[in-house]
Copies of this chain bind each other. A is one copy, B any other.
Amino acid sequence: MELREYTVIGGDLRNVKLAEAIHSDGHCVNLFGFKNAGFSSELQETDDLETAIASSDIIIGPLPCTSDNEMLNAPFHDKKIHISEVFKIMKKAQLFIAGRINGKIMQMAQAYNIRPIDILEREEMAVLNAIPTAEGAIQIAMEELPVTLNGSRVLILGYGRLGKVLAKMLSGLGAEVYVATRKYSDAAWLRAYGINSVYMDGLDRYLADMDLIINTIPDKVLDQAKLELIEKESLVIDLASKPGGVDFEKAGQIGIKVIWALSLPGKVAPVTAANYMKQTIYNILQELGV
């Protein structure tokens, strides 16, 4: 592997771990945007943005990149970091990799002649992210439930990436797993993997009998009618990103405990999450022949 110079700008704990992981592979890594982080790292923060970027090959931004289309997400920094400033300093040969780069940022990048790469659009990153997310959900379930997952009845809503990893892990713990899906081919896969499948339109008669229900579908699946079928002792974990897949207000009124768990990878396994980002970045570079 060719040694390169990286710059990691802003982001959360994962980005620090990412910088360290890249550094321990022998690469040179500049760190910027963690002035107030309060954690010690083997890496020194570079003083100014210009120095941090100057001789670098790859600039890595936060995941997600921004929340206001102007500043980089840099919760640990003492000042704001303007995306436009980063792009202005960057040279054409330099690569910008970050997460969830929207149309606005794309336009800005084009204006500065920068070609950004969205790491979250990579299929392998999406799959890998499902691993710490699933494990985080399992951890929450273990913490909340007065029963073991082994022997529990668990219903997973959706059999996309997250549903697949959840079903695998929960079966591996000895839970009795049911996966609700709309697609015949999902049911076929569940047959192959020896896991029970439920069609969405027959969901109602399963809801009442579960110790744990985990939603992975980005759609208001658990509305009032469905929530009323669920037993009070059941735990519901919603992994769907905003606006979520559960009518939280109704759930509260009915008295069902719902935990809406977002951004689990960075919270429960920052080192693993950082390693997966590193792997994906290396894959990107290899594909580009950089």
Contact = CB atoms under 8 A, between A and B. Distances in A.
Contacts of A174: 131, 168-169, 172, 191-194
B184 A283 contact: yes
A147 B185 contact: no
Interface in A154-203: 164-165, 168-169, 171-176, 183-185, 187-189, 191-194
B124 A185 contact: yes
A128 interface: yes
A139 interface: yes
Interface stretch (A73-81, A220-228, A264-272): A264-272
Contacts of A194: 150-151, 171, 174-176
A135 interface: yes
Interface residues of A, number: 51
B185 A123 contact: yes
A86 interface: no
A146 interface: yes
Given A172-B174, A184-B124, A185-B124, A151 B272 contact: yes
A130 interface: yes
A105 interface: no
Contacts of A37: none
A165 B17 CA distance: 33
A188 B269 contact: no
Contact of A148 (B123, B125, B135, B143): B135
Interface string A246-290: 000000000000000000000011111001000010010000000
Contacts of A192: 127-128, 130-131, 150, 164-165, 168, 174
A106 interface: no
A33 interface: no
A143 B139 contact: yes
Nearest to A17: B146
Nearest to A175: B194
Nearest to A189: B127
A168 B174 CA distance: 9
A189 B17 CA distance: 23
A145 interface: yes
28 contacts: A122-B184, A123-B184, A123-B185, A124-B187, A125-B188, A127-B188, A128-B188, A128-B192, A130-B192, A131-B150, A131-B174, A132-B148, A135-B142, A135-B150, A135-B173, A138-B142, A146-B269, A147-B271, A147-B275, A151-B194, A151-B272, A169-B172, A169-B173, A169-B174, A172-B174, A173-B173, A174-B192, A174-B193
